[in-house]
Amino acid sequence: MKTKSTQAWKRAAALLLVLTLLSALAGTAFAEEDALNDGSPWVDYVLRENVETVEARPESPKDDLYLYANFDWAKNTEIRPGYTTESSFTDVADEIRNMCMEVLTDDSLQGEDAALVQGLYKACLDWDARNALGVEPLQKMIDRILAVSSLGELTALFCDRDEEVVQFFGFGADTGLNDPETYLLGINPTGLMLGDSAEYVKRTEMGERIEAGYRMMAAKMLPKFGYTEEEASEMMDRALALETELAGGIMSSAEKMSPDYIQRINNEMSPDEAYALCKNFPMSTIIEAWGYDGAKSCLVTQPAYFEKLDAIYTEERLEDMKNYMLVSTALGGISVLDRDCYELSVEINNMINGSNGSAPDEEVAYSIVSGVLMVPMSRAFLEKYDATQMKEDITRICQECIDYYREMLESEDWLSADTRAKAIEKLDALTIHAVYPDKWRDYSGLSLDGLNFYDSLKAIRKFNEEYNRSLLNTKVDHELWNFSILDTNAYYNPQDNSINIIRGILGKAFYREDMSTEELYAGIGSVIGHEISHAFDTNGAQFDASGALNNWWTEEDYSAFLARAQKLIDYYDAMTAFGGYHVQGKNIQTEAIADMAGVKCMLGLLEQKGDVDYRVFFEAYAKIWARLNTRETEYYCLMQDSHPLHYLRANATVQQFAQFMEAYGVTEGDGMYLDPADCVLVW
């Protein structure tokens, strides 16, 4: 729950929601009857239960392209133990992981990067050492929290840089929105157990499952520190009650997906103004103790949170706060302590996500290593698997897409000449980040020699903290990429106006050397086209070519854009996915627009090449969205993801294009038919 920085909004332009460990959910199974294929206009064939009930593959894609293209794949795929999803993305992720496993177990590899990742990997799998320690690594912190007897002592604990105490807010060097070239001090709310603050107003079925998961975790973890199950239950009640107060000052997921979100979080102020937000809570004392006292400017994303926090920081509420910290500390260690704790984390995740069993230990260890040692893992990977040719290929395709976008933007007659010129200026300034960076963060100061797993993770956090502190007030180095290149994903970053098409997505359905042009464009091509469009969507419109928050649209053009987006929102809102649940058009608008723009770009490029087999293109395109989800995961995607459900990413996208209708002779009455007058293309 300790969050140094909430940069979630920056990830909004990713191609795919990354559903790793949903930190919790649990409990009641879904009712049988609401899982079945009542979707409209198409069956949600991503939902595992629906795959079981649909008996035959349709004869043609005229009624349902996604079902036609992915029928056999889904019938022959089972969700593996410990997984909540299988997809074209997990196919590529498997390939990358298998290659990484070779890196992690190759004794012949030399160098600091291999030493770091192999060291952590071995420590993670050293169950004898982890079991011998048990929950002892957390006991010292629990004791220190228990010993606090005044607000002054609590503040002193928050200020202790040697301890990793649960903080009630996050802070650290971060890029600002007005000036993306300089690191300022980001100040953010804490994370919440139930994830979405809206859950504290009215629990959804997901919120109920998450709460049940946390309650089970508390009932099993707190007794390890001497509490009874009854005490654990009461402690959980109090912790949730405290979070309910704090959640009143935190924006909901729906608010975060709204186009005005970026404007709302852009509260840049001087440190004195930031500190003045709290009278009781010692914000400045803590920030200074952690070495961020020289900040020239602060970005307080959600000032309303600090009013709530300030109200509880009193002597009368001391025991409430201590209780919250005890619960958070005990539960926070669940996946990094001994085998017993780890198995509990698996059990809870399965309850929450509708999965079964557990992934092999080696896979879990790999995901931890690649998550916390992104740079060393990536560099060791590239040392073993050269990707220079790939970098050239991807850069070339990105450039082709950018060139075609220029034509697309020039032909948008609903935009004024002014806005069009600004859009093209932004396009010309777009930076291509292909496959891997040329420059990396220095890791030479980090050593994990002789450390056990828990202490290794702690050493990495300390190392990252030092690094983050060193960034404050310095210039942003855009040549360093701030994410793993081994993720199976792609991003647009509005703050440096870059598209990021990384090594981790380049495989299988997205990119292979033996692909036809149609397949290549349907795969990585449409991904690139998707990412570029984010430079011009409701979020991208707010950032200029330099990455500063500065709306470059004329008012009329922006209104015209919103009106076009509204038509798309209405179109999706009318759809039902399963169980009577409607698609959330507002939440998915920018990603749906991006999918359509990506396909439009590829169709334009194909047309220029001539001699195109459009069926190959559309079927390959439908296959990149192949996915199988548990009911719990699909519900989460429907309610919380900014991307449309995968069967809609295929079907609702392609039906916007005459090339699709013509390729298959789709006519009125067919499931894929859309009257051209009802088309919802924004670009």
Q: What is the DSSP string of 139-163?
A: HHHHHHHHH--SHHHHHHHHH-TTS
Instruction: Give the nearer residue to Zn ion in terms of CB position, either 13 or 327.
Output: 13
Residue number with the shortest CB distance to Zn ion?
Answer: 594
How deeply is 362 buried, as exposed, middle or buried, from its count of CB atoms within 10 A (0-12, 13-18, 19+)?
A: middle
Shortest CB 14 distance to Zn ion, Å: 6
Instruction: Give the nearer residue to Zn ion in terms of CB position, either 175 or 590.
Output: 590
Q: Beta 581-582 vs 576-578: how paired, if at all?
A: antiparallel
Shortest CB 594 distance to Zn ion, Å: 5
Instruction: Give the nearer residue to Zn ion in terms of CB position, either 130 or 534.
Output: 534
Residue count of the chain, please give it: 683
Shortest CB 538 distance to Zn ion, Å: 12
Closest CA to 589 of 261, 237, 102, 198: 261
Write the DSSP symbol of residue 534.
G
Stretch that binds Zn ion, among 202-210, 247-255, 367-375, 585-593 (CB under 5 A): 585-593
Measure Cα distances from 571 to 39, 294, 494 in Å: 15, 50, 27
Q: Which residues within the stretch 521-560 sit at the binding site for Zn ion (CB under 5 A)? A: none
Shortest CB 490 distance to Zn ion, Å: 8
Q: Which residues within the stretch 435-494 sit at the binding site for Zn ion (CB under 5 A)? A: none
Instruction: Give the nearer residue to Zn ion in terms of CB position, either 589 or 629.
Output: 589
Instruction: Give the nearer residue to Zn ion in terms of CB position, either 124 or 652.
Output: 652
Shortest CB 232 distance to Zn ion, Å: 41
Determine the residue type at 96.
I
Shortest CB 391 distance to Zn ion, Å: 22
> Can you tell me whether residue 553 is helix, strand or coil?
coil
Stretch that binds Zn ion, among 26-34, 272-280, 506-514, 588-596 (CB under 5 A): 588-596
Stretch that binds Zn ion, among 167-175, 291-299, 594-602, 657-665 (CB under 5 A): 594-602
Closest CA to 227 of 216, 240, 218: 218
Instruction: Give the nearer residue to Zn ion in terms of CB position, either 141 or 652.
Output: 652
599 is an interface residue for Zn ion by CB under 5 A:
no
Shortest CB 151 distance to Zn ion, Å: 45
Per rule CB under 5 A, count of chain residues that contact Zn ion: 2
Instruction: Give the nearer residue to Zn ion in terms of CB position, either 123 or 588.
Output: 588
Instruction: Give the nearer residue to Zn ion in terms of CB position, either 63 or 591.
Output: 591
- Ranges of beta strands (E only) in 169-296 are 169-175, 183-189, 268-269
Instruction: Give the nearer residue to Zn ion in terms of CB position, either 518 or 591.
Output: 591
Shortest CB 547 distance to Zn ion, Å: 17
Helix (H) or strand (E) holding 25: none
Shortest CB 675 distance to Zn ion, Å: 27
Instruction: Give the nearer residue to Zn ion in terms of CB position, either 10 or 48.
Output: 10
426-463 per-residue burial string, b: 16 or more CB within 10 A, e: under 16: bbeebebbbbbbeebeebeebebeebbbbebbebbeee
Shortest CB 409 distance to Zn ion, Å: 18
Helix (H) or strand (E) holding 388: helix 388-410
The sign of the dihedral angle between the CA atoms of 641, 80, 647, 601 is positive
Q: Which residues fall within 8 angstroms of residue 136, CB to CB, at 6 or more apart?
A: none
Shortest CB 491 distance to Zn ion, Å: 8
Shortest CB 526 distance to Zn ion, Å: 11
Closest CA to 308 of 190, 198, 199: 190
Determine the residue type at 149.
S
The residue to which tokens 């980040």 are assigned: 433
How deeply is 363 buried, as exposed, middle or buried, from its count of CB atoms within 10 A (0-12, 13-18, 19+)?
A: middle
Instruction: Give the nearer residue to Zn ion in terms of CB position, either 457 or 535.
Output: 535
Stretch that binds Zn ion, among 235-243, 441-449, 548-556, 591-599 (CB under 5 A): 591-599
Instruction: Give the nearer residue to Zn ion in terms of CB position, either 50 or 539.
Output: 539
Shortest CB 584 distance to Zn ion, Å: 16
Cβ proximity of 583 and 576 under 8 Å: yes
499 is an interface residue for Zn ion by CB under 5 A:
no
Cα 490 from Cα 485, distance rounded (Å): 9
Contacts of residues 636-640 at CB distance under 8 Å and 24 or more positions apart, as own/partner, are 636/19, 636/22, 636/25, 636/206, 637/17, 637/19, 638/577, 638/581, 638/583, 638/584, 639/204, 639/206, 639/581, 639/584, 640/17, 640/195, 640/196, 640/206, 640/253
SS (H, E, C) 157-198: HHHCCCCCCCCCEEEEEEECCCCCCEEEEEEEECCCCCCCHH
Instruction: Give the nearer residue to Zn ion in terms of CB position, either 235 or 594.
Output: 594
Shortest CB 518 distance to Zn ion, Å: 22
- Output the six-digit token pair for 299: 């970005």
Stretch that binds Zn ion, among 70-78, 103-111, 130-138, 589-597 (CB under 5 A): 589-597
Measure Cα distances from 498 to 534, 597, 606, 674 in Å: 10, 17, 24, 34
Stretch that binds Zn ion, among 187-195, 293-301, 403-411, 583-591 (CB under 5 A): 583-591
Cβ proximity of 59 and 45 under 8 Å: no
Instruction: Give the nearer residue to Zn ion in terms of CB position, either 64 or 591.
Output: 591
SS (H, E, C) 462-473: HHHHHHHHHHCC
Stretch that binds Zn ion, among 160-168, 215-223, 283-291, 587-595 (CB under 5 A): 587-595
594 is an interface residue for Zn ion by CB under 5 A:
yes
Shortest CB 15 distance to Zn ion, Å: 5
Stretch that binds Zn ion, among 109-117, 337-345, 441-449, 584-592 (CB under 5 A): 584-592
Instruction: Give the nearer residue to Zn ion in terms of CB position, either 355 or 640.
Output: 640
**Contact residues: Zn ion, CB under 5 A:** 591, 594
